[in-house]
Amino acid sequence: MLECNVDDKKVTHTLKDVLYVPKAPNNLIALNRFDDANRSVTFIPGLPSHFA
């Protein structure tokens, strides 16, 4: 699950069909999977990403 703060509210997203790589130095999320699920991602310079 992925938890994000959106408009001062905690939003939880359930990620499906994920790979668990415990030694990976970073987390990777395919943005097209958000699009396929009718979700959006907004990038604002200087601020964390916004997942909705």
- Cα 35 to the center of its chain, rounded Å: 11
pLDDT on residue 23: 93
What does each of the 52 residues of the chain score in pLDDT, given as a tens digit?
778 777 888 888 788 888 888 898 987 778 888 788 888 777 778 776 655 5
Residue 41's pLDDT is what? 77
Per-residue H/E/C for 3-52 = EEEECCEEEEECCCCCCCCCCCCCCCCCHHHHHHCCCCEECCCCCCCEEC
Domain boundaries, the chain: 2-51
